[in-house]
Structure 1
Amino acid sequence: MDELVCPGCRDLSKQVAELTAQVAELTRRLDEATRAGKRQAAPFRKGPPKPNPKPPGRKSGDVHGKHGHRSPPPPEQVAECHEADLPDACPHCRGRLVETGTAEQFQTEIPRQPLIRKFRIHIGHCEACGKRTQGRHPLQTSDALGAAASQVGPDAQTAAALLHTQMGLSHGKVASVFETLFGITLTRGASAQIGLRAATRLEPDYHLILGEVRASEQIAADETGWRIGGHPAWLHAWVADRATAYGVDSKRSADALERVIGADWSGVLSHDGFASYERFEGAIHQQCLAHVLRRARELLERGTRGAVRFPRQVIARFTEAIHWRNEYAPGTWTDDQRDAHGRSSTTACWNW
C-alpha cells in the first residue's frame, strides 16, 4: 500500500505533521505567556502608552477635590524651634534690611540619630530558696545578659517585622534600610529572629483567627504562588465572615484548609473550581464569579463567529447577577422584588 502513495502526498503528510507540532508548541508558549501575565508582577507591566491619555493634574470646577495640605502640629508636639534670621544685607542690591514681622513654618522629620537606652539590671537571690532573680523594665525586649546584652528596641523590632511581612522586603533589605535610614546595624539573622519571635507571640491570636474561620458560615478560599527556602510553595487565603486567615503550605491542595475546618464543615465554600475542594462533601460549593468571568472573557477573545455567543451570554448573565446582588445587599430591593427578579432570571436562563 505504501508504494501506491505518491511522493507528493507523503511530503504533504510530513509537512502537516511538522506544522501540527509547531502549532502545539506555539500554543504552549502562548498559554505560558498568558499565565505569566496574571501573576503578581503583571500589574507593573503597563505596556505601551495609551493613544489618547487623560491630561495630568487635577480636574477643574467642582470635581477639583481637596488639597492634601499638612496641618500644623499642636504646640506640645514641637520638639525643636529654630530661627531663620534675615541675612546681613539685601541679596539683590546689598541694601540695609528692616525686619517687618515673622511667620511660622513646620517640618516633620524622621529621627536619624538612634536612641540608645541603658538598663541597669538589679540582680538578687531569694533568702529562702536561694534562686537567682533579676529585675525587668517594661521597655526591655529580652532578659539576656552578657554577650547578648546589646539588643534592638521594641519599636525597631516592630518596624523590622512590618518591613518584612507587610512591605515584602527580604531580611537583607530590612538590614539595609536600618543602616541607611537610621544608622542601626542589623544583620539578616537578627531580622529573621525578630520575625520568628513576633510569630511566637502572635500565635495565640492566630489560633483565635482560625477559630473564627472554623465557626464561619461561609468561606472564600484561594491560593497563590509562594516560596519556602527558595522552593515552590503556596500561600492559602481563607476569607470568613469576620476574619481572614493565611497559611503557607508546600502543596496547593485543600489539605491546609481541611486541617483548619475539618472535612465535615458544612457552610458555603466559595472557590475557583479547584477539584481538591470537592472533598468537603457537606459544604455548599459556590464557584468564584471572578474566575468564571475571566474564563468566559478568554473564550471570547479566542472565539470566532458563532463561538462567541456562549461566552457573551455568560458574561452578561453573571454581570447582571453581580449588579443584582449589589442592589439587594444594602436593602435597595425588597424580598418580593428579589423573588420576582429571581424567577425572571431563571426563565431567561432556560432560553439560552
Structure 2
Amino acid sequence: MSILDDVALLKEQVAALLHRVAKLEAQVAERDARISELEAELERVRRQGYKPQSNRKPPAGSEKQDRRKKPFRQHPGVFRDPPKLDDISPDQVECHEVVIDSCPCCGSRRIKPTGRFDDHLVTDIPEPKPVYHRYRRLEYQCQDGGKTSQGRAELELPGSHLRPRARLLNLYCRAHLGISLGKSCDLLSPWSGIPLSRAGALGHLAWGGKLFAPVVTDLLDLLRQQNLIHADETGWRINGKNVWAWCFSNPQIAIYLIRHSRSGAVIREALGDSLPGVLVTDFYAAYNAMEATKQRCLVHLLRELHSLRQKVPAICVKRIIEPLITLFQDAIALGKRREELSPKAYTQQIDAISDRFGELATTISTNTHVKRILKRLRTYADELFTFLDHPHIPPDNTPAERDIRSVAATRADGGVNRTDWGATAFANIKSIVQRCHKQGRQFLQYGLELISAVQAGQPTPLPLSQNTS
C-alpha cells in the first residue's frame, strides 16, 4: 500500500471522528437546554410556595440540623417530659455535686467558682435490695374450748417465702411480656435481688391461675351482656400437641381460653347459645352456630379479593373482582361519613350499596375461585353490612386480632405449655392483665387488692378504672 493510500485512510478516520464529536456536542447542547428548562420550572414552582420534601439525610459538611425540626418529618416527635423537682418527695432525691479541678478549654488550674449552677435532674431505678418482712404470729388459747390458734397478716401467704408483689411480677413477665419462666427468673434475680428457680416460678403460675379464675368467670359473664364482642383464634401447643388459643374481647374486656378444639362448642362454652349484642368475626364456619347479629370482617374479605387478582383471568378481575373491592371500600367509607349525611341521604346511600351488592353477588362465572367467593358473599349477605345499621359496630375484626397478637408473640418467644392446667393458668392471668390495660389499671395494684379481698373473705373485686362506677 502506497503513502497516498495511507493518507486517504487517515483522512476518512479523522472525518468519522469529527462527525462523532459533532453529534456528541449536539446531544450535550440538547441536554443543557433541557436542564435549563427544568431549573426554570423548579424556580417557578418554588416561588409559588412549594417546598420539596426529602427523606434523605443532609449531605456531609452541611449545617447540622436538629432531628426534631427536620422539614421532611410528617409528624411531630414525642419526647418524655423531664422530671420536675416540685413533684418529687425530698427523700427520693440523691444530690451529687459536680466539680472540676481545671479549665476544660485550656487546662489551666487557676479556676474559681462563680456561684452559679445548673441542675440536671435524671431518673433511675434503685439498686436491687430485697426487703424482708417478719411476721411474728402470736399464739392464743381459747378459754372455752382450750384450742390454740394464730392469726395471719394482710398479704401474708401461707407456706410461701415470697410476698405477693414478687409473685405478681413473675406472672406479669409470663403473661404480658411473653417471656418464659426461666427468663422471668433471670430477670427477677438481678433486678430485685431475689433468687428464684423455674420450679418456684411454675408454682407461682399455678397460684395465679387459681387466684384469678373466679374473676375471669365474672368477666366472661359480663362480656356476654355487652353490645359488641369480637372473636378470634390462633394456634397454641400443649405438650407438643396442637391446640387453639381463643380470644373474646371488646374495648373493655379480653378473655382468653386455650382449648383442644376449634369447633363451635368452644364458642358456646364462652358465649352461650345466643347473644344480645353483635358478634364480629372472620368467615370461620364455627361461628355460624351462634345465634346473634353478626358482622363479618371486611378486611379479611378485601385481602382475599386482592389476592384473587393474581389468580383469575383479567376479564374476571375487571367484571367482578375490582367492582367488589370498590363496593366494600365505598361501604366502609360510607360508615365513616355517617355523621356528615342526613338520615335520608344516608339511607339512600345504603340502598345504593345493597343494589350494587345484589347485582355483583348474582353474577354468573365459570372460574372456580370466583364461584367460591360469590358463594361466600351470598351465604353471608346478611352479615356483611351490619356496621352500616349500628354506629358502634366496626366493619372489621382488627381489635380481636390486636388482642390475640400478643399470644402469638408469646408462642414464638416465651414458648407454650406442657400441661392443661398450665395453659388454663396462663389464659386466666393473660385475661386479667389485658383487662387491667384496657381499664388503665396497674396489674400489680389490682392483684394486691384482690389478694386482700380474698384473705378477708370479701367478694372478689373486678379490675375497674378509678372513674368507673
Confirm or deny a common fold (TM above 0.5): yes
Question: For 2:317, which of 289, 308, 315 is the aligned residue?
Answer: 308
TM-score by length of 2: 0.56
Of 267, 288, 302 in structure 2, the residue corresponding to residue 293 of structure 1 is 302
- Residue 254 (structure 1) aligns with: 264
Distance 1:207 1:191 in 2: 24
Alignment partner, residue 98 of structure 1: 112
In structure 2, the partner of 1:48 is none
Give 1:129's match in structure 2, choosing from 120, 145, 148. 145
What is the aligned counterpart of 2:229 among 219, 227, 245? 219
Tell which structure's C-alpha radius of gyration is larger: 2
Q: CA contact under 8 A between 1:238 and 1:245: conserved in structure 2?
A: yes
Cα root mean square deviation, aligned: 2.7
How much has 1:267 moved relative to structure 2? 4.7
1:32-74 alpha-carbon deviations (Å, 9 max, x no partner) = xxxxxxxxxxxxxxxxxxxxx9447545469544543423242
CA distance in 1 between partners of 2:337 and 2:297 (Å) = 19
Equivalence map 1:152-231=2 (5 Å): 152-231=162-241
- Residue 335 (str. 1) matches residue 351 (str. 2): no
What one-letter code is carried by the residue in structure 1 that aligns with 2:96?
E
Output the CA distance in 2 between the equivalents of 1:227 and 1:86: 59
Give 3-state SS (helix, strand or coil) of 2:340's partner.
coil
1:236-251 to 2 correspondence within 5 Å?
236-240=246-250, 242-251=252-261
Alpha-carbon offset, residue 319 of structure 1: 1.4
Q: Is the 8 A contact 2:135 2:153 kept in 1?
A: no
Q: Are the structure 2 counterparts of residues 153 and 105 from structure 1 closer, same or farther at C-alpha, using a change threshold of 3 Å?
A: farther
Q: Give 1:116's aligned residue.
A: 131
Provide closer, same or farther for how the CA distance between residues 123 and 325 of structure 1 changes in structure 2, counting only shifts above 3 A.
Answer: same
Q: Is the 8 A contact 1:179 1:186 kept in 2?
A: yes
- The aligned amino acid for 1:341 is Q
Contact 1:89/1:95 (<8 A) preserved? yes
Distance verdict in 2 for CA 1:126–1:183, change over 3 Å: same
- In the TM superposition, 1:13-32 aligns within 5 A as none
Deviations 1:248-278 (A, max 9, x none): 1112222222112223446533322222222
The 1:265–1:87 alpha-carbon spacing in structure 2 relative to 1, beyond 3 Å, is closer
RCO (CA 8 Å, sep 6+): is it higher in 1 or 2? Answer: 2
Per-residue deviation, 1:170: 0.6
Alignment partner of 1:301: what SS? coil
Aligned-residue offset at 1:223: 0.4
After TM superposition, the score normalised by the length of structure 1 is 0.73
SS, match of residue 104 in structure 1? coil
Aligned-residue offset at 1:78: 4.9
Q: Which whole-Å deviations, capped at 9, do the CAs of 1:112-171 have from their partners, x for residues lacking one?
A: 32222231322313323333432333343x122xxx5xx223332222111110110110
Matched, 1:87 2:100: yes
Matched AA of 1:345? I
Alpha-carbon distance between aligned partners in 2 of 1:216 and 1:182, rounded to the nearest angstrom: 41
The count of corresponding residues between Structure 1 and Structure 2 is 292
Q: 1:284 aligns with which of 264, 287, 293?
A: 293
Change (3 A) 1:195 1:77: farther
1:89, distance to aligned residue in structure 2 (A): 3.2
Q: How far apart are the structure 2 equivalents of 1:65 and 1:207? A: 42
1:71 partner letter? P
Measure the CA separation in 2 of the matches of 1:332 and 1:78. Answer: 56
Q: Is the Cα–Cα contact under 8 Å of residues 101 and 109 in structure 2 kept in the other structure?
A: no
